[in-house]
């Protein structure tokens, strides 16, 4: 199956216009025709978008429609663990759990640790507060007066506490206020962004930049920063994060927001920028990210290409064509059974590598296009002394390192439907039994031994993925 992440605007427009307006009518028709190949997921970012909706009826309809497409499958960043969690929950239930979460809205910077169960932490925090309060920020009255009657006067709103009390503590408090209340500080962020764009004399038309990263590397290197754009981001990340603690999330979100802050397809609101960055990040865990917001499209595409993330980003009107380009089976290729496809792959697929494995056995790697069983994109053929082994696996090149139970079920059932009951008398995937077996690493998968031909589907722990293996004994 192909994992798909739809931006919030696509979910909403698809629900509202799926029967009447192109391209959403065409997209919905395509989804229905290929439902067995497409696997949709949602994220908390979709629900955060809905939290700001003033129409409870539309919100309810959106939640039901998201569930219709995703069957409740979601991905969510675990910030403390620095990992992404894959889970299943009805969007309505998940929404109710976060709808009234106002943690940041009422969080007081001054009392972050004052209520800690540990008196040592409370004492340490108070000592740090006292130090910050006694340290000047360097942003004095002359600095703030210089902003009057300029295009950057909006920056003064950002430093409301600092203007009253010139200390590093006030700077931190003002910064925290922006994080907690992005909607209130959009004008401030835009003023910061416009100032950096003007100071660096950046081309206001990003469509003329070419490669965004290369353009900004040169532009930033010419500035007082004395480093490239990418070097500057890496340096800032190391300063703000302890060594070894920079996560994939940190990298992606910092680069996404930095592209915007230097004028690459600028968002109009800070809250929209944060939402779009999150959607693009979650999209990087999927095969396709579909968005109709051109600013999101351009920034996601630039980051995916720069970091070699294999996720294909496209707009809703282009999704079907993008999908067919990679995955459609031509009329000359048999869709009748998996064995026919295996033969076709061996005869016609592009050879990616000819080498030897770790034990010096001859091995050849093929690109499998379209993917076998709508999943496997690579084939390694290894010749041993007593057999030849064909190992099919997926090379996704995106952030994902996990599978949903529904994905494992769909892949397993494709082979069971084709090969029939296996040697362990198993046919269709039994979630109640087999999910537990996979969790305990005792899942037998599926095995069919027919003379000298041994075929199996199993969970490969070294790849953290499901694989398909054919062994031909000599």
pLDDT tens digits, one per residue of 430-459? 999 999 999 999 999 999 999 999 999 999
Q: Classify residue 353: in a domain, yes or no.
A: yes
Same-domain status, 221 and 317: yes
Same-domain status, 266 and 295: yes
Average pLDDT of the chain, as a whole number: 85
Q: Flag the least confident range among 126-135, 308-317, 328-337, 369-378.
A: 328-337
Same-domain status, 457 and 439: yes
pLDDT per position as a tens digit, 69-104: 999 999 999 877 788 999 999 999 999 988 766 544
Same-domain status, 356 and 253: no
Same-domain status, 262 and 370: no
Cis bond upstream, residue 205 (ω within 30): no
Q: Classify residue 377: in a domain, yes or no.
A: yes
Q: Classify residue 175: in a domain, yes or no.
A: no
Name residue 364's beta-bridge partners. 354, 381
Same-domain status, 224 and 266: yes
**Average pLDDT of the residues in 237-248:** 70
Residue that terminates a domain, selected from 293, 328, 363: 328
Tell me which of 232 and 118 has the higher pLDDT: 232
Residue 148: pLDDT over 50:
yes
Residue that terminates a domain, selected from 328, 354, 386: 328
Same-domain status, 302 and 353: no
Same-domain status, 309 and 453: no
Q: Classify residue 349: in a domain, yes or no.
A: yes
Interacting residues of 111 by C-beta distance below 8 A, sequence separation 6+ = none
Residue that terminates a domain, selected from 277, 296, 328: 328
Same-domain status, 318 and 421: no
pLDDT per position as a tens digit, 327-357: 765 444 445 589 888 999 999 889 999 998 8
pLDDT per position as a tens digit, 216-231: 999 988 876 678 889 8
Whole-number pLDDT of residue 334:
44
Q: Classify residue 384: in a domain, yes or no.
A: yes
Tally of domains within the chain: 2
Q: Which residues form the domain of 281?
A: 1-105+181-328
CA atoms of 404 and 399, how far apart (whole Å): 15
Same-domain status, 279 and 215: yes
Phi, psi (rounded to 5 degrees) for 473: -75, 145
Tell me the whole-structure pTM to 2 decimals. 0.83
Q: Classify residue 157: in a domain, yes or no.
A: no
Q: Classify residue 441: in a domain, yes or no.
A: yes
Same-domain status, 190 and 312: yes
Same-domain status, 355 and 284: no
Q: Classify residue 124: in a domain, yes or no.
A: no
Residue 126: pLDDT over 90:
no
């Amino acid at each position: 199956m192909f994992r798909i992440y739809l931006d919030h605007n696509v979910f909403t427009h698809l629900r509202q216009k799926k029967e009447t307006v192109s391209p959403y009518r065409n997209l919905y028709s395509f989804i229905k025709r290929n439902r067995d190949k497409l696997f949709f997921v949602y994220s908390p970012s979709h629900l955060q978008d809905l939290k700001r909706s003033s129409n409870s009826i539309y919100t309810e309809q959106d939640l039901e429609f998201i569930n219709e497409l995703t069957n409740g499958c979601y991905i969510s960043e675990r910030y403390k663990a620095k990992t992404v969690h894959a889970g299943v929950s009805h969007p309505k239930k998940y929404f109710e759990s976060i709808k009234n979460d106002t943690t940041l809205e009422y969080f007081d910077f001054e009392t972050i640790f004052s209520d800690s169960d540990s008196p040592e932490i409370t004492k340490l925090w108070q000592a740090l507060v006292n130090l910050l309060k006694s340290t000047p920020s360097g942003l004095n009255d002359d600095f703030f007066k210089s902003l009057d009657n300029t295009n950057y006067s909006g920056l003064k709103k950002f430093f409301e506490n600092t203007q009253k009390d010139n200390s590093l503590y006030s700077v931190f408090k003002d910064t925290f206020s922006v994080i907690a209340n992005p909607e209130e500080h959009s004008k401030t962020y835009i003023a910061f962004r416009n100032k950096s764009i003007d100071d660096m004399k950046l081309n206001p038309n990003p469509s003329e930049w070419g490669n965004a990263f290369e353009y900004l590397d040169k532009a930033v290197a010419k500035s007082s920063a004395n480093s490239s754009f990418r070097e500057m981001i890496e340096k800032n990340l190391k300063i703000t994060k302890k060594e070894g603690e920079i996560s994939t999330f940190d990298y992606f979100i910092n680069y996404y927001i930095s592209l915007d802050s230097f004028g690459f397809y600028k968002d109009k609101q800070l809250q929209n920028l944060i939402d779009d960055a999150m959607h693009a990040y979650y999209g990087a865990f999927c095969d396709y990210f579909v968005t109709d917001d051109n600013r999101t499209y351009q920034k996601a595409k630039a980051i995916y290409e720069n970091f070699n993330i294999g996720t294909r980003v496209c707009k809703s009107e282009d999704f079907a064509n993008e999908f067919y380009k990679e995955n459609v089976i031509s009329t000359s290729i048999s869709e009748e059974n998996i064995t026919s496809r295996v033969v076709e792959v061996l005869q016609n697929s592009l050879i990616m590598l000819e080498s030897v494995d770790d034990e010096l056995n001859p091995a050849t790697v093929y690109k499998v296009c379209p993917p076998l069983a709508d999943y496997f994109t690579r084939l390694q053929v290894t010749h041993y002394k007593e057999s030849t082994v064909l190992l099919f696996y997926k090379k996704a090149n995106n952030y994902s390192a996990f599978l949903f139970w529904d994905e494992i079920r769909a892949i397993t059932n494709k082979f069971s439907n084709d090969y029939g009951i296996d040697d362990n008398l198993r046919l269709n995937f039994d979630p109640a039994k087999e999910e537990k077996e996979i969790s305990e690493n005792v899942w037998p998968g599926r095995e069919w031994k027919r003379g000298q031909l041994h075929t199996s589907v199993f969970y490969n722990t070294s790849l953290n993925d499901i694989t398909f293996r054919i062994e031909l004994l000599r």
